[in-house]
Structure 1
Amino acid sequence: MAVRARTALRAIFGLQLGIALVLLGRDFAIVLPSLRLPSFAPAPDVPITPGDQTRRFDPAKSPPRQTGRPGEAMPANADMPSRLFFEAREGGGTVIYGQIKEGDFTRFSDWLEDQSPAPETLWLNSPGGSVSDALDIGRLIRERGITTAMDADGQCLSACPYILMGGAERHITKGAWVGVHQHYYGKSVALPAFLAVEDIQRSQAEVVTYLDTMGIDPLIMRHSLATPPNEIYILLDEELTGYNVATELSDKEE
């Protein structure tokens, strides 16, 4: 009887230990995506020069904007709104600004349906956010034949360039800051390794297909794939035109 009791206690203890390990593993899996090595790249306010185009980047905050390239420092800029906003721009067109959140494609689509006539040009100023929403917004912009543009003090980072690339024409004023990096797949969800890799590869395939559809050189991916999520690679003027991100690069705003 005593042997049976000891055996039962060991089984119960083993079960409890197993549950504790599972819970500990789950908590670690939730925390792990947010654990990254610190970036040793220069701060965003350090001037960009050819060959030195990677800067530290916090996707939750809007980095400073630059006024010229290369070699000019970037002045401080207030944080962006937590999601996209659409408002009339002085001089014509519409400004789209703020972070790109899940559901912003639906908000943008609904907003666009209410515009009569539809805006001819959308001016972008966003630190990025949801890749899937950015791709859907870009597809709708191309479908409607709308031009995308950037002012000299504008920024379009992370997922935002996919919206920019959706423009039937893409007018960028010199000094605008267009930057790319790796997509962040760090939602707090524990996935088996093979499923996580499959999800990442599927998302990258979707992006490559999008680039091809929009007439953008897929070689631009070499910069995004080589730049971690807590850093941003800033495209030079010759890269903006070379990869066909910009169909027009001008010294003055329209």
Structure 2
Amino acid sequence: MSSRGQWFADITLARSLRYALLGQCAIAAAVLATDLLGQWPTGGASRRDLPQGPVSPGDQWREYDPATVSPSYVRRDPAPGVETPANMPSRLNFSVMETENLGSLLLVTGQISEGDAEQFQTYLDSMDEVPAGVALNSPGGVVQEALALGRAIRRMEMETAVLPGTICLSSCPYLLAGGIARRVSSAASVGMHQHYYNTPGYLPAFLAVEEIQHGQGRTMEYLIEMGVDPGVMVHSLNTPPEEIYVLLDQELSDTRLATEILD
């Protein structure tokens, strides 16, 4: 890396670490509080009322439901060739689709579960000809698995895309980051929120907080490795798990999570 590139990376990382500090403090306070109460937050926790429909600047928080195939904030129906399941699969499904502008793509649909990175590689190895790109339609899932999938995509030098009417939420943007080129339709939805890093519930609070911080550090390192501004994590750190922060086209471009916005 050139001295100028290293300087830029150092500045970006320093800024991102400052962004992350407040989020880590909030998470630490939550873990300590729940440890004192003797329980972790459950899905039954009360939720604030959030608007419906497409987002606009400053109005980007929506309810998050990983089982929802077509959330209300997605701006149009899926692109031709995208097979939308009646229910979001509990793990990733793979199929090949043809597009008019991007050619043959590997369509990846479903929640990201343990073992999906290995299945992804097995699927690619079984193909006579591997498509140049991956189209994503996922509400996210296991973070460590998403990072492994993203690295597999980069290792294969594949491009990534989020097509019109589809979603890439929670940990799915880490798959998007793996592409050597990253194209996102302005009629798609890419969103982030706080993640769980598989911290055992029996850990003392201070150890759980430490493991969460290690998880965040690994994620930031991954984004830097992929050429994405880790400052994008400020949106995940500031958004509770039951909500999703939907990124605007300008935010996707500014953080380099998208290298091209498609009409």
Please indicate the TM-score interval, normalised by the length of the shorter structure: 0.7 to 0.9
Give how far 1:79 is off: 3.0
1:84 aligned onto 2:92: yes
Distance in 2 (CA, whole Å) between partners of 1:93 and 1:237 is: 22
Q: What is the Cα deviation at residue 165 of structure 1?
A: 0.5
Aligned residue in 1 for 2:221: 209
For residue 71 of structure 2, what is the aligned residue in structure 1?
64
Alignment of 1:214-229 (within 5 A): 214-229=226-241
For residues 6-32 of structure 1, the C-alpha deviation after alignment (integer angstroms, 9 at most, x for no partner) is: xxxxxxxxxxxxxxxxxxxx9x85x52
Q: Aligned partners of 1:190, 1:34: CA distance in 2, in Å?
A: 16
- The aligned counterpart of 1:7 is none
Could you tell me how far apart the structure 1 residues matched to 2:48 and 2:200 are? 26
User: 1:186: Cα distance to partner?
Assistant: 6.5
Q: Is the 8 A contact 1:41 1:231 kept in 2?
A: no
- Cα 1:186/1:228, change in 2 over 3 Å: farther
What's the counterpart of residue 112 of structure 1?
124
Q: What is the CA-CA distance between 1:222 and the residue it aligns to?
A: 0.8
Q: Secondary structure of 1:161's match?
A: helix
1:212 aligned counterpart, secondary structure: helix
Counterpart in the other structure of 1:3: none
Please say if residues 63 and 242 of structure 2, whose CA atoms lie closer than 8 Å, have aligned partners that are also in contact.
Answer: yes
Distance 2:58 2:92 in 1: 32
Query: Quick check: 1:243 aligned with 2:255?
Result: yes
Q: Given the superposition, is the C-alpha separation of residues 185 and 144 from structure 1 closer, same or farther in structure 2, using an over 3 Å criterion?
A: closer
Alignment partners' CA distance in 2, 1:61 and 1:184 = 20
CA distance in 1, matches of 2:40, 2:183: 40
What is the TM-score of this pair, normalised by structure 2?
A: 0.76
> What is aligned with 2:242?
230
Tell me the residue number matched to 1:177: 189
Equivalence for 1:144: 156
Does the CA-based 8 Å contact 2:199-2:212 persist in structure 1? no
Once residues 122 and 174 of structure 1 are traced to their aligned partners in structure 2, the CA distance between those partners, rounded to angstroms, is 17
Gaps of 5+ in 2: 1-34, 77-83
Query: Is the CA contact (8 Å cut-off) linking 2:199 and 2:208 kept in structure 1?
Result: no
The answer on whether the counterparts of 2:199 and 2:211 sit within 8 Å (CA) in structure 1 is: no
Residue 33 of structure 1, CA deviation: 3.6
What one-letter code is carried by the residue in structure 1 that aligns with 2:108? I
Structure 2 residue identity aligned to 1:101: S
Measured in 1, the distance between the counterparts of 2:198 and 2:156 equals 33
Unaligned runs of 5+ in 1: 1-25, 69-75
Distance in 1, Cα, partners of 2:180 & 2:201:
37
Distance 1:183 1:36, change over 3 A: farther
Letter in structure 2 aligned against 1:57: Y
Superposition map of 1:21-32 within 5 A: 29=38, 32=40
- Give 1:198 deviation, angstroms: 1.1
Question: Which residue identity lines up with residue 97 of structure 2 in the other structure?
Answer: R
Q: Please tell me whether the aligned partners of residues 143 and 197 of structure 2 are also in contact (alpha carbons under 8 angstroms).
A: no
CA deviations over 1:131-167 (Å, ceiling 9, x no partner)? 0010000011111110001111110000100001100
Identify the residue that residue 58 of structure 2 maps to in structure 1. 51
Instruction: Tell me: CA distance 1:46–1:67, structure 2 relative to 1, closer, same or farther (3 Å).
Output: closer
User: Equivalent residue for 1:167?
Assistant: 179
Deviations 1:216-242, CA, capped at 9 Å, x for gaps: 111111111000000000000100101
Distance 1:185 1:141, change over 3 A: closer
